[in-house]
Structure 1
Amino acid sequence: MKGKTLETTKTIALVAHDHKKDELITWVKKHKDILSQHKLIATGTTGKLIENHLGVEVKRVMSGPLGGDQQLGAMIAEGEIDIVIFFWDPMEAQPHDSDVKAFLRLCVVWNTVMACDSSTADFIISSPFMGTNYQVEAPDYSNYLNRNVQK
């Protein structure tokens, strides 16, 4: 992927650990008008809560511990997700910590717009780029992909 244009209607992944779900729902309610203009995708329970509070359709993948983080990670790698809002709990170990780390790593690898707290999410959602096309510069991994591999 050399670069990607984020269209006016963004695909936004919304994820929250159990102890952060209330915080994410509060944030979602605060930004209901803007979020309802975009395509939303979320992990299992979080998606159901968002649907209930926003009254809009949310595409749902599996719950995080059941593979939802990995499903979203694959979508990031394929360029199918534009923005990630992931309220993760820094105070509690998760049974799928390695999946969470891999997901966050993929967000950085593919230069995905990402917030892990409400302040950063507020900055993203209020950005003038939310309502316009935006050109994302993807890193060039050709040297890595074409490196000389020794047996």
Structure 2
Amino acid sequence: MRIGLAVNQLHHANRDAALYRWLRVCADGIRELQMELHVVGRTYDAMLGEGMLQGYPPLKRYPYGRHGGLMKLVAEVVGLGETRTLDGAIYLIDPVDPSSDYPEAAALKRQCVIHHKPFVSTVAGAIDFIECQRMHAGLEPLPAADRLFAFERQTVALIAHDALKQEMFDFAGAHFDLLSRFATRVATGTTGQGLNELAWSRGWPKDKEWVVRYNSGPLGGDAQIADRILDQRCQRVIFFEDPHVARQHEADIRLLERAVTTVTDEAMCMTTPIVAQRWIEAVKKREAF
């Protein structure tokens, strides 16, 4: 597996920064997986400066971001042949860093969504991602990741754009029992109503909502859920995004995404049905140990 890696400056500024918190948990797992990391220059230099993954052959250095390193990752997510095609990207975002709004940063996420590849933007998400890859490889669970799979103490947000609402309903129906284990489920307006109707058809008590419904996205539902995330009352966002349509409430969607990256150790987001399905399969493998 080949994964692009970039980190905003704040996240490698000191020894307790996000990049190093992630690698202290996951470096051994990366080695076990023999995961090939294609790393933008400053992030690469920071890792080696702290002795992280030194002498690891599948670590590839790219130019600094200002010299096109992040742009190269975007192109490789799209695909440039057998040896230059990435399977996804980890980009630990500082939401107030101006570079997180550069075109190449937005394009990296968008192309991951278009090509149904994982885009990981938080420490919690990066730990979760490596743990899921370990499960698919048949390795034993990491105790350090246990808290991320304690669904009974978590809230999950289920959000879908219009073109993908049916896929969200299909996903929730196929994995109804697992999703029902979360302490709370939340959703924006129309998606939430459809999910509640699905739950009632599956025997969920008629006088009880399966998901807590917020406003529709254009009327501020994304902002309402963002507030929960910032208060650490929502840990997972499953957001089936349609990258091909104009989004009149783009600012609200970006606000939700920024909230996730603001609480980087506590929240994570999955953005395509294929990525979410692979996560479900990893959860089941983990629980079978």
TM-score in terms of structure 2 length: 0.41
Q: Does 1:23 align with 2:167?
A: yes
Query: What's 1:148 paired with?
Result: none
Deviations 1:64-88 (A, max 9, x none): 1101010011111110001100112
Shift of 1:107: 1.3
AA aligned to 1:31 is H
Given that 1:107 and 1:113 are in contact with CA atoms closer than 8 Å, whether structure 2 keeps it comes out as yes
2:192 match: 47
- Within the alignment, does 1:124 sit opposite 2:268 as a pair? no
Letter in 2 for 1:36: S
Is the CA contact 2:158–2:187 (under 8 Å) kept in the aligned structure 1?
Answer: yes
Residue 123 of structure 1 deviates from its aligned partner by 3.0
Structure with greater proportional helix content: 2
SS across alignment from 2:158 = strand
Q: Considering only CA atoms, is the larger Rg found in Structure 1 or Structure 2?
A: 2
Match of 1:84 in 2: 237
TM-score (norm 1): 0.76
Percent identity at matched positions?
33
Letter in 1 for 2:270: A
Q: Write the distance in 1 (CA, Å) between the matches of 2:197 and 2:189.
A: 13
Deviation at 1:109, TM superposition (A): 2.4
Instruction: Give yes or no for contact 1:11–1:41 (8 Å, CA) kept in 2.
Output: yes
Aligned to 2:177: 33
Judging by fraction of residues, say which structure has more strand.
Answer: 1
Judged with a 3 Å threshold, the aligned counterparts in structure 2 of structure 1 residues 107 and 94 are, in CA distance, closer, same or farther, namely same
Match of 2:258 among 105, 121, 125: 105
Aligned-partner residue type, residue 62 of structure 1: N
Three-state SS of the structure 2 residue aligned to 1:124 is helix
* Contact 1:36/1:54 (8 A) holds in 2: no
Structure 1: which 5+ residue stretches go unaligned?
133-151
| 3-state secondary structure, aligned to 1:22 | helix
- For 1:89 and 1:128, locate their aligned partners in 2 and report how far apart those are by CA, in whole Å: 25
- 1:45 positional shift: 0.8
Pairwise CA RMSD = 2.4
Gaps of 5+ in 2: 1-123, 125-146, 205-209
What is the CA deviation profile of residues 92-149 of structure 1, one whole-angstrom value per residue up to 9, with x for unaligned ones? 01110111112112212222221110122123334449x99xxxxxxxxxxxxxxxxx
Match of 2:214 in 1: 61
Aligned equivalents of 1:98, 1:25: Cα separation in 2 = 25
Q: What secondary structure sits across from 2:223 in the alignment?
A: helix
The offset of 1:60, in angstroms, is: 0.8
Q: Which runs of 4 or more aligned residues in structure 1 lie more than 6 Å from their structure 2 counterparts after TM superposition?
A: none
Tell me the matched-pair count: 130
Question: 1:123 is matched by which residue type in structure 2?
Answer: R
